[in-house]
Amino acid sequence: MRSGVTATNDFVVKFANVNGSGSASANQLFAKSILRMGIPIASRNIFPSNIQGLPTWFEVRVSGEGHLGRRGGVDLMVAMNPQTWDRDIAEIDPGGYLLYDSTRPMPASRFRSDINVIGVPLTQICNANYTDARQRQLLKNIMYVGALSALLNIEPPVVEQLLAEQYKGKEKLAKPNRDAFHMGRDWALKNLDCPLGLTLERSDAVGDRIYVEGNAAAALGAVYGGATVCAWYPITPSTSLAEAFERHCKRFRTEAETGRKRYAIVQAEDELASIGIVIGAAWNGARAFTATSGPGISLMQEFVGLAYFAEIPAVIFDVQRAGPSTGMPTRTQQSDVLSAAYASHGDTKQVVLLPEDPRECFDFGASAFDLADRLQTPVFVLLDLDIGMNDWLCEPFAWDDSRQLDRGKVMTAEELEAGRTFGRYLDADGDGIPFRTYPGTHPQKGAFFTRGTSRDRFAKYTEVGSAYADNMERLLRKFDTAKQIVPHPVERPAAQPTRTGVIYYGSSSAAMKEALGQLEADGIHLDAMRIRAFPFHDDVLDFIARHDRVFIVEQNRDAQLRTLIMTEGNVDASRLIPILHYDGTPITARFIRAAVADRASALKVVPFAGAAAE
C-alpha cells in the first residue's frame, strides 16, 4: 500500500451497488450532506436497463471549485457489489481508496497494492443488530454513509437534519436510520484512521443554488408554460419527466373548490398516439406536450411533419439516450440533433432548443410553449439522460410574475365579427406567421379545414404548384422569424485574442467550462460559444467567420450539429473540427482538453516560404 491521495473538497467517490437494494436513498443522503456543508458536487447515476439485481453505480464528484462535469477516475470506491468487484477495483486511481464490506475475508489477490483498502464489516454489524432481512439490507447502506462521515469528515448534524426532513412525521423510520448511521460512524471512528487523506471542509460555495434533475425541472417549466395536456408513452430516460409533470400538477393545478384537475395526462398506447393527442389538443387551443427519447422521435416523424405543414404548436421533450431501441437506453448521448432538426418527410425544419442544465430545462420548458404558439410549429427541447435523470447543482428557478403567456396570433370572435380578413395561411404581417382560429370561435367566420398542404392562403383545397411553393416560401420566412426569438447563443471570449473558437451545447457545457480553464492554463486560448437553439442566430455564423477554425464539441459519433451548421450556414467543412464523445458516458473536461490539445498541435501549420507571394 502506498500513501493515499490527499485532497480537500476535490475528489470523486463512486458507489458500486446492486440495483433494487435500496442503495439509492443512502447515496442521495451522502451527496446531499456534502451540499449542505456548502461544497458543490456533481452526481451521476450509471444504471442498467433493469429493475433488480444488475449492477448500478452512483458517482459523486466533490468540487470546491464548482466543476459540475464528470471528472473521470475514482479516488474512493465504495464497492458493495461482488459482481463488478474486479472492474470496480481496477477503476480506482493509484493512491486511491477502497471501502468494502469485510464481513467475509477476501484473498489478497483480489486487491491492488497501489490502493488503500478499508474494510468495514457492514453485514456483520447489521446482522448483530437487526433480525429483519429487508432492514438488514437497507440499513447496511445507511451504515456505510456513517462510516464515510467519519472517514471524510461529514458533519453528523447535517446528516441527522436530512434524515429528519426525509422522515418528517415518521419517527419510526427516522430512528433506525439515525441509529444505523451512528453505528457505522462509531465503528469507523473506533477502528479506522479517520479521516482519510480525502476530507471535506465546510464552505460557502453552493450559495442559493438548487440540486435538481433536468426532467423534473423541464416538467415544472411545462407547468409554468401553461401546458394542460400531456400525452406520453413510457421510455427511458424521459419517463420521469411525464411523472414529474403529474406530481407538479397535483400540487399546482388542482382546482381548490372542487379538487378537480386543470390538466389532462394520458399515457397513450404508443408514441404515435402521444404526438397525435398533443397535435389534436394544440390544434384546439390547449398547450400540449409529449416527452420521449430517440426511438419515440423516430415513431413521431410522420405526425411532426403534419404539424409542421399544418402549423400546429406542439412541444416535444426529447431526453436523448444512446443508440437504437435495443441499444443503451440508460446511457447518455446528443444523437437526435439531426432527426429533430429535420424531423419528418418533405421539406421540413424544426425549432430545437438545447438546454445546458436543469435551470435552462425549466426556462426552455416554459418558453417552448410560447415559441410553439408564437410560431405555430413544433418545438423540440433536447435534454439528454445526463441532464434529465441526474440531479444537478444549478441556479434557482425564477419567474417574473408580470410575464404573460404568449398565445401567438389567434383571431378572436370579436375580430372576425369586425370583418378582419382571415386567411389561415395568409402572411398578414410579413413575418411568415399567419393567424389561426380555435375551433368553435364564431358561428359563420373563421372556420377552416386543416390539411398538410394542398391548399391556398385561405385554406381552400388546391393542388396548384404555385400555391404549394408560395406556402413553402412563407414557411421559410417564418423560420427566419424564429431565428430572432429563440434563445440566442452565449459567447465567452478567451482571455487573449485568438483565431480559434469552440462551439458546444447542452450537457457538454459543464465539462467544456472546466476544459476551457485547463486549456487556458496550457496556453491554448479559445473563444467559446454555446449554441442554445436551432435555427441558428446570425451570431453563430459571425462567430465562425471571425475564427480560422472552430472546434465543435458533441456527444455523438457523426458530428450532427456540425452537419447542421455546415448545411444551414454553408460553412466550409475544413474550418469546423469535430470533437466527438459517444461511448454513452457523460463527456469530461479531461477528454475535451486532451482532444483539443491533440488537434491543436496537429493543426499547427508551419508557414510555407512561398505562400506570402500568393
Partner 1 sequence: MSFLPKPKLHHPKLPVNALGFTRRDYEGAISTLCAGCGHDSISAAIIQACFELDIEPHRVAKMSGIGCSSKTPDYFLGASHGFNSVHGRMPSVLTGANLANRDLTYLGVSGDGDSASIGFGQFAHSIRRAVNMTYIVENNGVYGLTKGQFSATSDKGSKAKKGAINNDEPIDLVGIALQLGATFVARSFSGDKTQLVPLIKAALRHPGPAFIDCISPCVAFNNHEGSTKSYDFVREHNEAMNQLDVILGRDPISAEYAPGEVREVTQHDGSVLRLRKLHEDYDPTDRVAAMHHLHERKAAGEIVTGLLYIDPEPEDLHHHLDTVAMPLNRLDDAALVPGSAALDKVNAALR
Segment 271-300, which members bind partner 1 (CB under 8 A)? 272-286, 288
Q: Is 575 in the site for partner 1 (CB under 8 A)?
A: no
Residue 102 Cβ vs partner 1, minimum distance, rounded to whole Å: 36
Spell out the residues 6+ positions from residue 86 whose beta carbon is closer than 8 angstroms to its own: 110
Cα(563)–Cα(547) distance, integer angstroms: 18
Q: Given the complex with partner 1, which of 47 and 362 has the nearer CB atom?
A: 362
**Sole binder of partner 1 in the list 444, 466, 496, 574 (CB under 8 A):** 444
**Sole binder of partner 1 in the list 169, 204, 449, 466 (CB under 8 A):** 449
Q: Is 168 in the site for partner 1 (CB under 8 A)?
A: no
Q: Is 447 in the site for partner 1 (CB under 8 A)?
A: yes
Q: Given the complex with partner 1, which of 420 and 442 has the nearer CB atom?
A: 442
Please give the C-alpha separations between residue 552 and each of 262, 347, 603, 604, in angstroms, as whole numbers.
43, 26, 15, 18
**Sole binder of partner 1 in the list 204, 400, 463, 572 (CB under 8 A):** 400
Q: Is 309 in the site for partner 1 (CB under 8 A)?
A: no
* Interhelix angle 133-152/122-129, nearest 10 degrees: 130
Q: Is 164 in the site for partner 1 (CB under 8 A)?
A: no
What binding mask, one character per residue, do residues 71-110 give for partner 1 by CB under 8 A, x or -? Answer: ----------------------------------------
Site stretch for partner 1 (CB under 8 A), options 56-64, 375-383, 437-445, 603-611: 437-445
CB 215 within 8 A of CB 241: yes
Q: Is 551 in the site for partner 1 (CB under 8 A)?
A: no
Residue 258 Cβ vs partner 1, minimum distance, rounded to whole Å: 7
Hey, which residues between 484 and 513 contact partner 1 (CB under 8 A)?
none
Residue 567 Cβ vs partner 1, minimum distance, rounded to whole Å: 27
Burial category of 176 from C-beta neighbours within 10 Å (exposed 0-12, middle 13-18, buried 19 and up): middle
Q: Is 463 in the site for partner 1 (CB under 8 A)?
A: no
Q: Is 266 in the site for partner 1 (CB under 8 A)?
A: yes
Residue 30 Cβ vs partner 1, minimum distance, rounded to whole Å: 16
Q: Given the complex with partner 1, which of 282 and 433 has the nearer CB atom?
A: 282
Cα(363)–Cα(568) distance, integer angstroms: 26
Q: Is 442 in the site for partner 1 (CB under 8 A)?
A: yes
- The count of other CB atoms within 10 Å of the CB of residue 521 is 9
Q: Is 302 in the site for partner 1 (CB under 8 A)?
A: yes
| Main-chain phi, psi angles of 55, to 5 degrees | -65, 145
Site stretch for partner 1 (CB under 8 A), options 1-9, 233-241, 349-357, 448-456: 448-456
Site stretch for partner 1 (CB under 8 A), options 48-56, 439-447, 473-481, 568-576: 439-447
Number of residues in contact with partner 1 under rule CB under 8 A: 71
Cα(467)–Cα(586) distance, integer angstroms: 47
Q: Given the complex with partner 1, which of 342 and 397 has the nearer CB atom?
A: 397
CA dihedral angle for residue 505, residue 506, residue 511, residue 515, rounded to 10 degrees: 10
**Sole binder of partner 1 in the list 34, 60, 306, 353 (CB under 8 A):** 306
Q: Given the complex with partner 1, which of 90 and 405 has the nearer CB atom?
A: 405
CB 305 within 8 A of CB 346: yes
Residue 35 Cβ vs partner 1, minimum distance, rounded to whole Å: 8
Cα(265)–Cα(247) distance, integer angstroms: 11
Cα(430)–Cα(422) distance, integer angstroms: 15
Q: Is 586 in the site for partner 1 (CB under 8 A)?
A: no
Collect contacts of 358-361 with beta carbons under 8 A, ≥24 apart.
Answer: 358/210, 358/212, 358/213, 358/214, 358/216, 358/217, 358/218, 358/387, 358/392, 358/394, 359/217, 359/394, 359/395, 359/396, 359/397, 360/532, 361/214, 361/215, 361/217, 361/218, 361/221, 361/387, 361/388
Q: Is 461 in the site for partner 1 (CB under 8 A)?
A: yes
CB 16 within 8 A of CB 55: yes
Cell of 467: 400555391
Helix (H) or strand (E) holding 477: helix 465-485
Q: Is 404 in the site for partner 1 (CB under 8 A)?
A: yes
Q: Is 409 in the site for partner 1 (CB under 8 A)?
A: no
What binding mask, one character per residue, do residues 9-38 give for partner 1 by CB under 8 A, x or -? Answer: --------------------------xx--
Cα(367)–Cα(365) distance, integer angstroms: 6
Q: Is 341 in the site for partner 1 (CB under 8 A)?
A: no
Hey, which residues between 356 and 375 contact partner 1 (CB under 8 A)?
none
Cα(52)–Cα(384) distance, integer angstroms: 24
Task: State the number of CA atoms in the 13 A half-sphere of 506 facing the CB.
Answer: 29
Cell of 262: 386543470
**Sole binder of partner 1 in the list 439, 458, 472, 538 (CB under 8 A):** 439
Q: Given the complex with partner 1, which of 409 and 442 has the nearer CB atom?
A: 442
Hey, which residues between 194 and 253 contact partner 1 (CB under 8 A)?
206, 208-212, 220, 223-224, 226, 228-229, 231, 252-253
Bridge partners, 41 (sequence order):
62
Cα(133)–Cα(364) distance, integer angstroms: 46
Site stretch for partner 1 (CB under 8 A), options 148-156, 447-455, 479-487, 577-585: 447-455
Task: State the number of CA atoms in the 13 A half-sphere of 179 facing the CB.
Answer: 14
**Sole binder of partner 1 in the list 112, 261, 575, 590 (CB under 8 A):** 261
Nearest to 406 by CA among 341, 313, 304: 313
**Sole binder of partner 1 in the list 1, 90, 405, 573 (CB under 8 A):** 405
Residue 365 Cβ vs partner 1, minimum distance, rounded to whole Å: 13
Q: Given the complex with partner 1, which of 31 and 99 has the nearer CB atom?
A: 31
Q: Given the complex with partner 1, which of 410 and 594 has the nearer CB atom?
A: 410
Q: Is 468 in the site for partner 1 (CB under 8 A)?
A: no
Q: In this structure, is the dihedral angle defined by the CA atoms of residues 154, 155, 160 and 161, taken in order, positive or negative? A: negative
Relative to beta strand 288-292, strand 314-320 is: parallel
Q: Given the complex with partner 1, which of 356 and 363 has the nearer CB atom?
A: 363
For 19-172, strand residue ranges (E) read 41-46, 55-63, 74-79, 92-101, 116-120
